[in-house]
Amino acid sequence: MNQILNPKPKYDLEQRTFDFAKDIRLFLKSIPDSIVNREDSKQLIRSSGSVGANYIEANESLSKKDFIFRMKISRKEAKECIYWMKLLIETNGMERHDKAVELLNEIEETRKIMSSIIKNTNV
């Protein structure tokens, strides 16, 4: 259904970050409920949504300096996602859980893409 509404390819970073935040929320519904997992999940939910929200802000920026600043915030949030994902994976024995590994790989790739955009944007 998403392809019907938004036929853009996977390299559309705005859609990609949205899909990541959505997939995080769906994934977290499948992990065991505990006080620790609830708290770590809240942090991951916040940072995963913030990656895309800050990327949208970067694209609406008024200057290159502002663009880079907002991209750095988005990249920082991606790094935070990596931290919370690794913590959830390792404390729940999910090192071989396909979806967990896929999500971790996705956000690591997104962080690298953002780093490349920042590096290649001339101020």
Q: What is the pTM of this model?
A: 0.87
Could you report the per-residue pLDDT of 28-81, keeping only the tens digit for each?
999 999 999 999 999 999 999 999 999 999 999 999 999 999 999 999 999 999
Which of the pair, 12 or 1, is modelled with greater confidence? 12
Contacts of 21 (CB under 8 A, 6+ apart): 48, 49, 51, 52
Contacts of 64 (CB under 8 A, 6+ apart): 121, 122, 123
Contacts of 56 (CB under 8 A, 6+ apart): 14
Which of the pair, 38 or 10, is modelled with greater confidence? 38
Rounded CA-CA distance 93/87 in Å is 10
pLDDT value of residue 1: 42
Amino acid at 7: P
CATH number of this structure's domain 13-25+32-120 = 1.20.1440.60
Q: Are 107 and 78 in contact (CB under 8 A)?
A: yes
For the chain, the structural domain boundaries read: 13-25+32-120
Structure tokens at 82: 């990596």
Rounded CA-CA distance 70/34 in Å is 34
Could you report the per-residue pLDDT of 79-109, keeping only the tens digit for each?
999 999 999 999 999 988 899 999 999 999 9
Model confidence band, residue 122 (pLDDT cutoffs 50, 70, 90): confident
